């Protein structure tokens, strides 16, 4: 998330709690040089939305690891990529190189962010886990294959590294290389000692285009996958496979579809691509964006409007839906699947199933033997319904599953993550054709939750059990086998609870029910130990859980209607408290607690607004206005080295609304008396401006998304030139808003 795109610190907690509820353990943030240092003399990390210390405190209290990404360049579809615009005018030399002036420009900002981050590092009992140097800067090599170094760029990276270390940053330094554009900054790839390398190399990817306007990404093949595994093997085989950015949505330019393209980067995208990333051995995956926010205060690049919703799982208005829940289904699984972090890719191909239209990747933990099978269509664009059996390699042999149920089905743009020898607590699943949602250790007893799409079959083989019984819900088939019990079922839109004589409880649910199952932590430890969680079924959102009074579980969360609630927790708890209100609570036959959450109030009486007042918002257009405020700068130079002599940048105005006010004189009735004016404004794409003469409106450039300069010839209306003694006076006012991205500072200019 971007704190500067949600500039109300009190709302940061809402987003962080929603991130934590998905099972994700880390939040990644940009900090914005230009936002924190609007002038060379002013670096602000303490007031309002600039208070990053407050953000890091919240993340620690909630229990989330943090990656801090301070740039200086961050991109983020921001004006000048988030760099301070005053540093991009040319006065400080070329940005993102090692020049003395540019180094002196970024040093105060980098000093501040690293120093305030230092006490929040993991080594200081904080939760900051990684710290990024620069962003999307794949320029370490003049010749990548020959490893010919780019010394000037390397020197710049070395200075940034030295600054971070000198200010106490000891956690791993990372970098994010865009779109598989080369193995820059990896110490594994740098065999010539070129320098500039970080501790963990990272790459980003947006396989279905970062923009809702696909033409901005060239040719996009729907549902195509890239070989990230090969890229990591080339660039960083001895490091964790880190993706500091993977597509979480897409931005909407001015000419993009109204409302964005949420369906294109929706539930199916999440299910398919995020599982494929796991199959490619990505071990640290950060979604860009999980929450986008809003482009306040002229932050955005020229091609964007005010919304940065991004089609993210947490919308601009902070609401959540099925995309969020689909991420949660995978996030809760990865949180408890510790064995997944240390796996090797032992095989890929179409021979793992009895259906050659399917492609399988096998990951195997060399220490525990746990296996993970990622299954998708071999033709990735296919959405056909395919039935199959999977050949699994387990500690009791290799065989096809399912054994007693109908075939597994893969339908639509879907991926599956199935298991072999999966360990939970002190117990083992030999295999499961249902996906693991999560598990919790409650009173020393593992409660494992499996999910399957409604109407599909599921099957699992539990080691060591001799008997099993349904405690609640629809029937299942329980079959005793040599090494344990096999359970098969056809998934209904209900929850079934099955208890086994070895102490294991298994809960099987359909996908939609899984969407509303939560595993809130009872601690703020970001690791979220499995014996420090509860399982909560029903609400729209569960934010937090706390055991209080030795008999009460206090939950906080959201709901938009009356909802039945069921809680799996320790037997000592007999009451449920929801958002501070004690709910009438009963215990079920299978020792869970149930209650009903009442619907929230739905009526609202807005206050009456009376006694309206108004004020002229543009008095500067009037001849009676006197420009004596200190905000005005007199432009009286007669020579210039720039194309635009009235450049706002040159005079210290780098973004936002600008006003130019000029006077000229003319002789009444003279043949040279002006009858109009030609105005050329370089304001960036989608900018606009208006002109007034002695308070009379002349016209406007209303802007175009593909045009950076607005040129108009405007005639003077009759009577607009007014007498002022023996002089006729013209007052012209031009108002424009400028954005600019990449390395360019905003340079609004007037001729």
316 part of the active site:
no
Domains and CATH numbers, the chain: 3-204+226-249+264-294+311-331 (3.20.20.80), 338-515 (2.102.20.10), 534-603 (2.60.390.10), 619-750 (2.60.120.260)
Q: Is the pLDDT of residue 485 over 50?
A: yes
For the ranges 136-145, 299-308, 626-635, the maximum mean pLDDT occurs at 136-145
| pLDDT score at 748 | 37
692 has which bridge partners? Answer: 697, 733
CA dist., res. 532 & res. 548, Å (int): 14
Residue pLDDT, tens place only, 551-562:
999 999 999 899
Q: Which of 77, 134, 136, 459 is catalytic?
A: 136
**686 Cβ neighbours under 8 A, 6+ residues apart:** 254, 302, 303, 305, 703, 704, 705, 739
Q: Which of 10, 41, 91, 245 is catalytic?
A: 245
H or E stretch covering 68: strand 65-69
| pLDDT score at 367 | 97
CA dist., res. 63 & res. 545, Å (int): 13
Are the CB atoms for 707 and 669 separated by under 8 Å? no
**How high does pLDDT run on average in the chain?**
92
What proportion of the chain, given as a percentage, has pLDDT over 70? 95
Residue pLDDT, tens place only, 210-269:
999 999 999 999 999 999 999 999 999 999 999 999 999 999 998 889 889 999 999 999
If one compares 179 and 296, the residue with the highest pLDDT of the two is 296
| pLDDT score at 681 | 85
Are the CB atoms for 431 and 392 separated by under 8 Å? yes
Judged by DSSP in three states, 204 sits in: strand
| pTM of the entire predicted model | 0.93
Q: Is the pLDDT of residue 732 over 80?
A: no
Residue pLDDT, tens place only, 21-31:
999 999 999 99
- Full DSSP string of 348-390: EESTTBS-TTEEEEEEE-TTT--EEEEEEESSTT----EEE-E
284 has which bridge partners? Answer: 242
If one compares 736 and 647, the residue with the highest pLDDT of the two is 647
User: Quick one: average pLDDT of 407-430?
Assistant: 97
| pLDDT score at 422 | 98
Q: What is the 3-state secondary structure (H, E, C) of 712-728?
A: EEEECCCCCCEEECCEE
Please choose, from the candidates 387, 386, 378, 390, the residue with its C-alpha nearest in 3D space to the C-alpha of residue 420.
390
| pLDDT score at 669 | 65
| pLDDT score at 33 | 98
Please choose, from the candidates 361, 457, 359, the residue with its C-alpha nearest in 3D space to the C-alpha of residue 408.
457
136 part of the active site:
yes
> CA neighbours within 13 Å on the CB side: how many for 680?
7
User: Quick one: average pLDDT of 437-461?
Assistant: 98
| pLDDT score at 736 | 29
CA dist., res. 530 & res. 339, Å (int): 14
Q: How far is CA 525 from the centre of its chain?
A: 22
Burial string for 164-181 (b: 16+ CB within 10 Å, else e) reads beebebebbbbbbbbebe
Per-residue pLDDT band for 728 (boundaries 50, 70, 90) equals very low
Residue pLDDT, tens place only, 54-113:
999 999 999 999 999 999 999 999 999 999 999 998 889 999 999 999 999 999 999 999
CA dist., res. 584 & res. 589, Å (int): 17
H or E stretch covering 15: helix 9-21
Residue pLDDT, tens place only, 344-391:
999 999 999 999 999 999 999 999 999 999 999 999 999 999 999 999
Are the CB atoms for 31 and 69 separated by under 8 Å? yes
CA dist., res. 394 & res. 388, Å (int): 19
């Amino acid at each position: 998330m971007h704190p500067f795109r949600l500039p109300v610190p009190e709302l940061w907690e809402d987003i962080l709690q929603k991130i934590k509820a998905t099972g994700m353990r880390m939040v990644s943030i940009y900090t914005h040089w230009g936002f924190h240092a609007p002038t060379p003399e002013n670096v602000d990390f303490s007031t309002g939305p600039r208070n990053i210390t407050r953000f890091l405190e919240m993340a620690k209290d909630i229990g989330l690891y943090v990656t801090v990404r301070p740039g200086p360049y961050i991109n983020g579809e921001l004006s000048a990529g988030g760099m301070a615009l005053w540093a991009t005018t040319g006065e400080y030399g070329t940005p993102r190189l090692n020049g003395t002036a540019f180094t002196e420009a970024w040093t105060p900002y980098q000093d501040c962010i690293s120093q305030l981050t230092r006490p929040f590092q993991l080594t200081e009992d904080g939760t900051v886990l990684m710290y990024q140097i620069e962003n999307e800067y794949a320029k370490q090599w003049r010749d990548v294959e020959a490893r010919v170094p780019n010394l000037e760029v390397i020197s710049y990276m070395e200075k940034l590294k030295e600054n971070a270390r000198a200010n106490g940053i000891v956690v791993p330094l990372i970098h994010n290389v865009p779109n598989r554009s080369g193995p820059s900054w990896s110490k594994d790839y740098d065999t010539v000692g070129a320098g500039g390398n970080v501790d963990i190399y990272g790459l980003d990817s947006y396989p279905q285009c970062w923009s809702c306007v696909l033409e901005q990404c060239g040719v996009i093949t729907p549902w195509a996958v890239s070989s990230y595994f090969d890229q990591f093997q080339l660039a960083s085989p001895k490091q964790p496979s880190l993706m500091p950015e993977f597509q979480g949505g897409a931005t909407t330019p001015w000419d993009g579809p109204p409302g964005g393209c949420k369906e294109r980067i929706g539930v199916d995208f999440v299910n398919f691509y995020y599982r494929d990333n796991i199959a490619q051995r990505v071990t640290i995956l950060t979604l860009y964006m999980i929450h986008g926010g809003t482009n306040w205060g002229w932050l955005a690049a020229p091609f964007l409007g005010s919304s940065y919703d991004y089609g993210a799982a947490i919308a601009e208005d902070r609401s959540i839906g099925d995309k969020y829940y689909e991420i949660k289904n995978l996030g809760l699984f990865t949180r408890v699947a510790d064995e997944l972090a240390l796996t090797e890719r032992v095989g890929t191909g179409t021979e793992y199933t009895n259906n050659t239209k399917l492609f399988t990747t096998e990951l195997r933990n060399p220490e525990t033997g746990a296996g993970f099978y990622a299954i998708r269509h071999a033709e990735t664009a296919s959405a056909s319904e395919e039935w199959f059996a999977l050949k699994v390699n387990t500690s009791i042999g290799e065989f096809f599953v399912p054994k007693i149920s109908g075939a597994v089905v893969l339908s639509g743009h879907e991926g599956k993550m199935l298991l072999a020898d999966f360990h939970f607590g002190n117990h083992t699943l030999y295999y499961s054709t249902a996906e693991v949602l999560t598990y919790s250790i409650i009173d020393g007893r593992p409660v494992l939750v499996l999910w399957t799409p409604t109407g599909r079959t599921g099957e699992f083989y539990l080691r060591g059990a001799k008997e099993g019984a349904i405690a609640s819900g629809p029937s299942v088939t329980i079959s005793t086998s040599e090494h344990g019990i096999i359970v098969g079922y056809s998934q209904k839109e209900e929850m079934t609870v099955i208890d086994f004589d070895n102490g294991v409880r298994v809960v099987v649910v359909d996908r939609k029910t899984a969407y509303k199952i939560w595993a809130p932590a009872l601690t703020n430890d970001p690791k979220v130990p499995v014996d420090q969680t509860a399982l909560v079924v029903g609400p729209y959102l569960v934010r937090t859980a706390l055991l209080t009074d030795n008999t009460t579980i206090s939950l906080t969360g959201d709901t938009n209607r009356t909802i039945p609630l069921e809680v799996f927790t320790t037997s000592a708890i007999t009451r449920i408290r929801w958002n501070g209100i004690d709910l009438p609570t009963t215990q079920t036959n299978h020792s869970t607690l149930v209650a009903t959450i009442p619907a929230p109030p739905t009526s609202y009486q807005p206050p009456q607004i009376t006694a309206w007042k108004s004020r002229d918002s543009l008095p500067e257009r009037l001849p009676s206005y006197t420009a004596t405020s200190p905000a005005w700068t007199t432009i009286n130079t007669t020579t210039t080295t720039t194309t635009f002599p009235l450049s706002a940048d040159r005079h210290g105005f780098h973004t936002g609304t600008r006003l130019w006010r000029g006077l000229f004189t003319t002789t009444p009735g003279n043949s040279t008396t002006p009858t109009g004016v030609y105005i050329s404004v370089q304001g960036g794409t989608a900018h606009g401006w208006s002109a007034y003469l002695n308070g009379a409106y002349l016209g406007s450039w209303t802007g175009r998304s593909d045009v950076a300069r607005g040129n108009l010839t405007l005639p003077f209306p009759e009577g607009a030139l007014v007498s002022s003694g023996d002089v006729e006076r013209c007052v012209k006012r031009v108002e424009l808003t400028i954005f600019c991205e990449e390395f360019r500072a905003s340079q609004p200019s007037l001729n």
